[in-house]
A = this chain, B = another copy of it.
Amino acid sequence: MSETSPTPQGAARLRGFIAGMTRLVEAAGTDEPRLLAEGGALLGGLVAVDDWLPDRFAQPHPEHYMQYLLHCDPLQRFSVVSFVWGPGQRTPIHDHTVWGLIGVLRGAEVAELFAPGTATPHATERLEAGMVDAVSPRIGDIHRVANAFDDRTSISIHVYGANIGAVARHVFDAATLAPKGFVSGYANTVLPNPWRG
């Protein structure tokens, strides 16, 4: 994997996003509508320019999508994850149990949205690069997400209201919607260092 650093300007973009989200969780506490609105605006700014994600956190895996932790709030009030989708890759149907924001950095993704206990999606959304969407138990928490492309990598940046890799949540059988517990973890043993200036 490449150790390529982003430009100083790119590092400043990630650093500024982390600082902004930190100030937001300190100010907003558990006010989810505010977190989604203001956090969504911050995430929209982050994914508006594709110059800041180091290559090693943009590497697809040949067999399944990858989840690279980019930053975890020290008090685990939020986490920032790079989802890297190889051609045609998708998640199982799953929930989150906490609020989440999804911003597409590169390519595009398609999400199918499910109501609890219903095996047929009630909506399908396509998110292009630069777009931001939200999930939560309050506004709809169950979906299946896929790379919109069969021939290229897509990357989305996700922000969650917890250290998402350690959260006990669920995947659902596509036919029966039977739930199964899962903890997603992270692929990476190291994080980007955006503090070098």
Query: Chain A residues in contact with chain B, CB under 8 A?
Result: 3, 5, 18-19, 21-23, 54, 56, 69, 71-76, 79, 163, 165-166, 183, 185-186, 188-193, 195-197
Sample of 5 further A-B pairs with CB below 8 A, known A79-B195, A191-B192: A21-B74, A22-B75, A54-B189, A71-B74, A163-B195
Can you list 8 pairs linking A and B with CB atoms under 8 Å apart? A3-B190, A5-B189, A19-B74, A19-B76, A22-B74, A69-B193, A185-B196, A191-B193
Could you say which residues of chain B place their CB within 8 Å of the CB of A72? 195
User: For residue A190, which residue of chain B has the nearest CB?
Assistant: B190
Give the oligomeric copy count: 2
- Whether A196 and B186, one on each chain, are in contact in the complex, defined by CB atoms closer than 8 angstroms, is yes
Contact partner of A74 (CB less than 8 A), chosen from B73, B79, B166, B189, is B73
- What chain B residues lie within 8 Å of A21 (beta carbons)? 74
Chain B residues lying within 8 Å of A18, measured Cβ to Cβ, are 74
- Listed from nearest, the 7 A-B pairs whose CB atoms lie closest are A190-B190, A22-B74, A72-B195, A191-B191, A166-B197, A18-B74, A191-B193
Distance in angstroms between the alpha carbons of A165 and B75 in the assembled complex: 23
Distance in Å: Cβ of A79 to nearest Cβ of chain B = 7
Chain B proximity of A179: nearest CB distance (Å): 21
